[in-house]
Amino acid sequence: MPRPRKPRCVQGGPMANIFKPRGIPTTELEEVVLPVEGLEALRFSDLEKLDQETAAIRMKVSRQTFGRVLAQARGVVAEALVTGKMIRIQGGSYTLAGIGNRSCQGRCRKEE
């Protein structure tokens, strides 16, 4: 039996949960699902330009886990862009950072 998945710490939910090619009705599109923690990994790495070690600390996961989440997210986005599929952002194993959320408070490791 696999070990239970540790929730990833996410700063906030997506601004929109669906992205699709313009001019094609949603009912005619295939879709791919991007987990919320995948979107967070893309934000840290590609938008904020954080290195993987720093981003992993902010998500409360190991650097290897962060790299895996990021690689999977990039694969989903690439598939959607190349093949014209709709991206639905939902699900995953995450916890929202906020008041009273102990799993996202503090640090899992010291930042160097």
pLDDT, tens digit (0-9, with 9 covering 90-100), for 57-95? 999 999 999 999 999 999 999 999 999 999 999 988 888
- CA gap 107, 9 in Å, rounded: 11
Domain with 38 in it? 8-97
Asked if the structure places residue 30 within a domain, the reply is: yes
Mind spelling out the 3-state secondary structure of 16-85? CCEECCCCCCHHHCCEEEECHHHHHHHHHHHHCCCCHHHHHHHHCCCHHHHHHHHHHHHHHHHHHHHHCC
Report the number of distinct structural domains present in the chain: 1
| Domain membership flag for residue 2 | no
Residue 12: inside a domain:
yes
Whole-number percent of the chain with pLDDT over 90:
66
The answer to the question of residue 83 being in a domain is yes
Residue 103 in any domain: the answer is no
User: Does residue 76 contact residue 32 with C-beta atoms inside 8 Å?
Assistant: yes
Q: Are 109 and 54 within 8 A, CB to CB?
A: no
Identify the pLDDT of residue 110: 32
Residue 50: inside a domain, yes or no?
Answer: yes
Which pLDDT score is estimated for 8? 85
Is 15 contained in some domain? yes
User: Looking at the domain assignment, is residue 109 inside a domain?
Assistant: no
| Amino acid occupying residue 77 | V
